[in-house]
Amino acid sequence: MSAGVDVRVDALESALQSDLGDHAQWFRPRRYRDSLALSIIDAIFSTGARYATVENILDRYIAYREAQDGDATGDGAPELLATFAELGSSEAWAQDIGNRRPTSTTPGAPLKAEAVKEAATRLHAAGIATSEDLRVAADCDALHVVKAVWREVPGQRSGFTWSYLLLLAGIPAVQVDGIVATYVARALDVSGDDIDDDLVSELIDQVARRNEWLDTDIPTAIWRAEQRARSSGGR
C-alpha cells in the first residue's frame, strides 16, 4: 500500500471514529443474504425506526413462516407476497406481522406494510424474485432499471431504502449508489471525481483489516448515519 493510500486510510478511520463513535455501538442489521423477503421488510421498516422494532417484525415473519414449515431465510418475493394473500390484506399483514407505521407523515400515507407488498410485487414483475436475481442484476449493470422500479413504491423515492436493500443482499458497497463513496470523499476532503470505486473499496478494506472489523460493518454504519442525517435535515 502506497504512502498516499495509507494517509487516506488514516483520514477515513479518523472520520469514522469521529462521526460514528465507538465501533461496538455501530448499527449492525441482521443479514439474510439469501432472503429477499426479509431484506425488503428490513429496508422499508428501518427508516425512522429503532432497529429493535424492525427485529420484532422480522421475528414475527420468521415465526409465521416456521408455522407453515417454511424457511424465511430463503424466501423471495413470491413467498413474501403469499403471506399477504394468506392474511387477506396489507392491513391484516400489518396487524399480524408488521405494524401500523405509515410510509411518511403525509396525511393518508399508506402503511409500510403496503409498501412492502408493492415493493415485492414490482420487483417480482421486473424479474427480481430472489436476492440472487438482485446480485445478478448488479453484475450485469442493470441495477438502474430495478432502482427505478423500487423508487415507484410509496415512501421509497429518496433511494435510501434502495441502497440499504442492496447492502442487505450482499452487493458491494461501491455499487450501492453514491452514498458510501460520497461519505468517503467527504472524509478525505476531496470531490467525488477524485476517487473511484477501486479506491473506495481499498480504503474500506484497509480500515476494516487494521481494526479487525467485518468489511460489511463500515458501509452499513455509514448508510445508517447518512440516513439519519438526511432525515434530520443535516444533509
Number of H helices, E strands in the chain: 12, 0
CA-to-CA separations, 160 to 44, 91, 224, 229, in angstroms, rounded: 10, 25, 9, 12
From the list 106, 103, 108, the residue with the least C-alpha distance to 153 is 103
Torsion of CA 14, 209, 170, 178, to 10 degrees: 30
Q: What is the pLDDT of residues 92-132, one digit of tens each?
A: 999 999 999 999 999 999 999 999 999 999 999 999 999 99
Q: What is the mean pLDDT of the chain?
A: 91
Dihedral over alpha carbons 205, 210, 214, 220 (to 10 degrees): -60
Q: To 10 degrees, what angle do helices 77-87 and 36-46 make?
A: 70
**pTM, rounded to two decimals:** 0.86
Within 13 Å and on the Cβ side, how many CA atoms surround 19?
21
In this predicted model, what pLDDT tens digit does every residue of 34-52 receive, in sequence order? 999 999 999 999 988 899 9
Q: Answer whether 33's CB lies under 8 Å from 170's CB.
A: yes
Please enumerate in sequence order all residues whose Cβ is within 8 A of that of 94, keeping only pairs 6 or more positions apart, or say none: 100, 111, 112, 113
Check whether 183 has a pLDDT greater than 80: yes
In angstroms, what CA-CA distances link 210 with 10, 31, 155, 214? 10, 23, 38, 11
pLDDT tens sequence across 19-37? 999 999 998 888 899 999 9
Smallest CA-to-CA distance from 127 within 85, 78, 173 is with 78
Helix (H, G, I), strand (E, B) or coil at 4: helix
**What is the predicted pLDDT for the residue at 195?**
87
Q: Which pLDDT score is estimated for 3?
A: 55
